[in-house]
Chains A and B, each alone.
Chain A
């Protein structure tokens, strides 16, 4: 089993402000993993499948995806659906991290196979707390072997 430190976090988020806030707070929560960024769903899939702009990249050995839902080009639902349908990516843990807290959307994501659903609190203290807890959670997650390639 891979050491959790070796896991690359793919942060898929279209809002640059949110990206920085998430990154800052993950670092404050002592997450030292490599973080890769994608600003829309297509970019995330290209990275995951080493296509397009990432065609010549080596597959990251171990991955965990933090996925926003409302994004241009391809949205989070489409990314999640494609990941869970594909043999190569279906075991990669996916954490939905989004502003939406509508119960129907939450249910839909779990149906599509997401592992954890987190709503971004609007209140910043709560936001920090949520990311800090996510960080603690990530520290104890076991990632399956051989994902991401």
Chain B
């Protein structure tokens, strides 16, 4: 027995050495993990006393290891977050885990926003919390930037709306004068003309023909050009005014049976449909909550476009379908018309722009109105088309439009 002792001891030592080696390896590994972590790591006791930390904690907070060893975890938190942090610590200790966003206060007094999660654990039978934090400065900056952009966008949106409204109103003032005084000129010209015709024979030939040309050709021609230009300007201004109004008018969201609404729209076009043998297929459409007038305008515009731009070489076919998916309803209006060329797609929703062959009347505002109305409903519209094959308009509106409706 006595002989065997050293052997036994030898075995014991070997085993212990192995265990110790393993422990050292383990410790080195976990230290390496903890210290290479880019975030903050602390282990602290129930009273907030710091037990362990990673080397990055020293870099971030600016405190030395000997300082940290004597500190309480709450001393690393900016004053305004002390309560929040204390509550989170309690939550971690009682419920097992917690997370919090707060500003870390460094030794030089700098505040750095952190997202911190903590988990309760036991070390040598005592409750403690292991917490890890990541620097969210960039995220905070991005959030603030995003908020600023949103506010700016809202402001400039508001400005554009008001601008369009004011411009279209103010332009009417000179327009009234242009129209009024051309009309006055025309009346005055008639008075002059009727008297001058009597006087003309008394003039010498050369002057007579000059006066006659001015009176009967030049002046009426000039007036004609002015009148036509003024009329065009008038219709432009009116179109802008309508667009501005659509962006401002109050929306009254109500439940709408889209089947009935589309049916009514199709009926108003029935004469044209019959005459040209156009088939309109309407699938089963859902109810939506939206502003009725807006929906009538949206459907009316898209459908009349579909019918307007059919291809006369084949029987026209227009199909309306819809799909409700959760919070949104998507409507599809497909036609087999002449289609829109790829290079013209950019013009489709732009005000005063018309694409393709200009053989039907229109001022190029219809889809601009539609887009404005849809945006106000928190919706969107897109268009797919192939020249010579047909066009499909797809628009989506929020099913809960009362919430979705924005003053955009």
Contact = CB atoms under 8 A, between A and B. Distances in A.
A43 to B, nearest CB: 18
Contacts of A122: 172, 175-176, 179, 234
A102 B179 CA distance: 21
Contacts, number: 42
Nearest to A25: B180
A124 B170 contact: no
A17 B180 contact: yes
A24 B183 CA distance: 13
Question: SS class of chain B's interface: helix, strand, loop or mixed?
Answer: helix
A15 B177 contact: yes
A120 B169 contact: no
A35 to B, nearest CB: 17
Contacts of B245: 102
Contacts of A21: 176-177, 180-181, 184
A99 B179 contact: no
B187 to A, nearest CB: 10
A8 interface: no
Given A70-B169, A100-B169, A17 B179 contact: no
A15 B181 CA distance: 13
- Tier of interface size on chain A: 10 to 19
Interface residues of B, number: 16
A99 B172 contact: yes
A123 interface: yes
B210 interface: no
B180 A127 contact: yes
Interface in B94-135: none
A21 to B, nearest CB: 5
B169 A124 contact: no
B173 interface: yes
Nearest to B177: A17
A18 B179 contact: no
Contact of B170 (A70, A102, A123, A127): A70
B169 A99 contact: yes
Interface of B: 169-170, 172-177, 179-184, 234, 245
24 contacts: A17-B176, A17-B181, A18-B177, A21-B176, A21-B177, A21-B181, A21-B184, A70-B169, A70-B170, A70-B173, A99-B169, A99-B176, A102-B245, A122-B172, A122-B175, A122-B234, A124-B176, A124-B179, A124-B180, A124-B182, A124-B183, A125-B183, A127-B176, A127-B180
Top-5 shortest CB links A-B: A17-B177, A124-B183, A124-B179, A99-B172, A21-B180
